[in-house]
Structure 1
Amino acid sequence: MRVTQSMLSSNMLRNLNNSYNKMSKYQDQLNSGKIINRPSDDPVVAVKGMSYRVDLDRNVQYQRNMGEAHTWLDSTDESLDQVGTSLIRVKELIVQAANDTNTKEERNKISEEIKQIRAHIQDLGNTKIGENYVFSGTKTGTPLFVNEPTLNVTVLNEVALGTKTDSNAPGNKTVEIDVFDGIKMQVNTAGMELFGAVDDYLAEVEGLFSRHKDPTQTPATGEEIGDLLGLSGTGATTTNPRLDKITEKVLEVRATVGARQNRLELMTNRLEIQEVSVTKQMSLNEDTDYAKTITEMVTAESIHQASLSVGAKIIQQTLVDFIR
């Protein structure tokens, strides 16, 4: 085959163009810090990178959900703590009032404080996070106590005649949040049964103390007031527990909330570990190895300079060069 001058020139220009493309590629990798800047550079790396980014986006969303779950559980725990503290104060007042040395006026003052404590606990039952009531089950837009206030059993059950212990009632159903792939965490505490029992008990206490204000009724004796404590008191049943039993129930519910908080901490740590792992894998998949890339860039530049030098000798001089 006859090799012409034009063929030598064309081959040289093509090789020089390829050399420029290589140097351009290495410059892009050094500038962007990525070994690919478009999917066509390496489809396999691009697809894997997309997968890693999906995992990271999902991780970020789960961490946002964790924050929401912590808010629910922290608010619930704080409210139950105040309920427990209030019940301790109620017990102190009942013990004080059970002493028959108290005058009618002194017991009336105790009655007023218990009335305010009951109103405070009802307010705690209507605790909100944003526009959501935390103790109303899945009926998060409905308060637990309304009108006077009384327990909102009918609305929370969505039936005409409901009970606060109906496990199928919306007011007793769970609110769950996704915290990991395939894992949901209950963040609410159904308050109908718990706050209903507390409110019923305090209503009974108010009713007993109200006899001191009604001249047509016989004032409650110290023994009757003392019977409000413990399960051995008059009228104590499993459905109408005394104060000690109610306080124990509040502590049990709060312990459950605490257990969920501990699990959330474990899940948060797991998400943080996963984020670090996925980020590392994504970096290994697509980040530029600067030492290697700089070495290849210098090598490509040396080859390019050699090509220019050889090419200058291959191309024959033109007529213009002779005239000059």
Structure 2
Amino acid sequence: MRITQSMMTRQTIQRVFINRDIMYQTHERISTGKKVNRPSDDATAYARIARYEKSYQRNLQYLSNVQYSRNWVNETSVALDKLQDYASQAKAIALKAVDASNDDDSRQVYARQLRGILEESVSTVNAKYLDKSLFAGTNTKNSTPFVLNDLTVTYTGNDEKIKRRLAEDMVSEINTTGQRVMDTGFFQAMETMITALEANDIPAIEDTIDDMQTAYDAVLNLSGEVGSFHNSLSLIENRLKDANMKLEEYLADDQDVVLEEEFVRLESEQTAYQAAMQSAAKIMRLNILNYM
């Protein structure tokens, strides 16, 4: 087949466009920092990158849930530790009160101290995290789930659990309800102890010491459960962070360009493009001369 001048012209111009497109693709990789910007660049890699990014974003949401849960549980733990300390203080006061060297006036002073501890205890279990009541169940807008009326504490929240998805196959209950706090017997023991002190009833005071010890142990156990869950959340958080670090590595392997290599490639492509342009210009001039 005879190669005509017009065929040479078309081939040369086609080469110019091809070289231009290759150069533009390199420009795009440099500007975006990505090897793959659309499915046509590499369909397999593009699909793989999409899966990695979806997993990465999902893990970020799980991490956000874990961090929220951990902060919630940490505040719960702080409140329970305080309640445990109040139980210890109350028991110590009662032990002093039953000493024979104390009289009725002294026991009234101790009773007033216990009333103060009771008020502080109620304030503690009405604690909030991000303006949500920690111990109100799902009724987190209830600002005072524990109500103190003289010596009696009433719980007005519910016994429902707050749940958070912490992984694809894991939904955890993050809250400790106020009913569980009530079930420790702490507030009942406080009421009985103060009543006995105000009545100057030494045998009754002695009985309440054992009740308060039982309440202390119950709060300690509850606090231990919360602490154990807090540790589990830390492990989950670390696993999610490790998973995302690996995903970042996979994404970098499939997606990130090496700029130094791209600039070298661009320089070579620019040279090829300029050469193609010069060839096209020469052929175009020859064509014009042939018609003169």
Check whether TM > 0.5.
yes
Q: 1:288 corresponds to which residue? A: 257
**Amino acid in the other structure paired with 2:114:** I
Q: 1:224 corresponds to which residue? A: 204
SS, match of residue 208 in structure 2: coil
SS, match of residue 102 in structure 2: coil
Within a 5 Å distance, the mapping from 1:103-114 to structure 2 comes to 103-114=103-114
Distance, in Å, in 1 between the alignment partners of 2:85 and 2:119 is 14
Gaps spanning 5+ residues in structure 1: where? Answer: 157-170, 212-218, 231-241
Return closer, same or farther for 1:3/1:113 CA change in 2, 3 Å cut-off. same
Q: 2:177 corresponds to which residue? A: 190
Within a 5 Å distance, the mapping from 1:183-262 to structure 2 comes to 183-195=170-182, 197-211=185-199, 219-221=200-202, 223-230=203-210, 242-262=211-231
Residue pair 1:84, 1:250 contacting (<8 A) in 2 also: yes
**Amino acid in the other structure paired with 1:87:** A
SS, match of residue 82 in structure 2: helix
Residue pair 1:144, 1:192 contacting (<8 A) in 2 also: no
Distance, in Å, in 1 between the alignment partners of 2:288 and 2:60 is 70
CA-CA distance at 1:186 after TM superposition: 2.5
* Range that drifts further, 271-280 or 56-65: 56-65
Residue pair 1:49, 1:286 contacting (<8 A) in 2 also: yes
CA-CA distance at 1:319 after TM superposition: 6.4
TM-score by structure 2 length?
Answer: 0.88
Gaps spanning 5+ residues in structure 2: where? Answer: none
Q: 1:274 corresponds to which residue? A: 243
Per-residue deviation, residues 88-127 of structure 1 (Å, max 9, x unmatched): 1111111111012212211110011111111211222211
CA-CA distance at 1:314 after TM superposition: 5.2
Within a 5 Å distance, the mapping from 1:1-150 to structure 2 comes to 1-142=1-142, 143-146=144-147, 148=149, 150=152
Residue pair 1:144, 1:151 contacting (<8 A) in 2 also: no
**How many aligned residue pairs are there?**
289
Residue pair 1:108, 1:209 contacting (<8 A) in 2 also: yes
Distance, in Å, in 1 between the alignment partners of 2:285 and 2:11 is 14
Return closer, same or farther for 1:37/1:194 CA change in 2, 3 Å cut-off. closer
Return closer, same or farther for 1:319/1:65 CA change in 2, 3 Å cut-off. closer
SS, match of residue 37 in structure 2: coil
Give 1 or 2: higher helix fraction: 2
Residue pair 2:9, 2:284 contacting (<8 A) in 1 also: yes
**Identity of paired residues, percent?**
21
CA-CA distance at 1:34 after TM superposition: 0.9
Residue pair 2:190, 2:212 contacting (<8 A) in 1 also: no
User: What is the root-mean-square deviation of aligned Cα atoms in Å?
Assistant: 2.5
Q: 1:165 corresponds to which residue? A: none
Return closer, same or farther for 1:24/1:292 CA change in 2, 3 Å cut-off. same
Residue pair 1:5, 1:315 contacting (<8 A) in 2 also: no
* Range that drifts further, 307-316 or 243-252: 307-316
Return closer, same or farther for 1:304/1:246 CA change in 2, 3 Å cut-off. same
Return closer, same or farther for 1:322/1:54 CA change in 2, 3 Å cut-off. closer
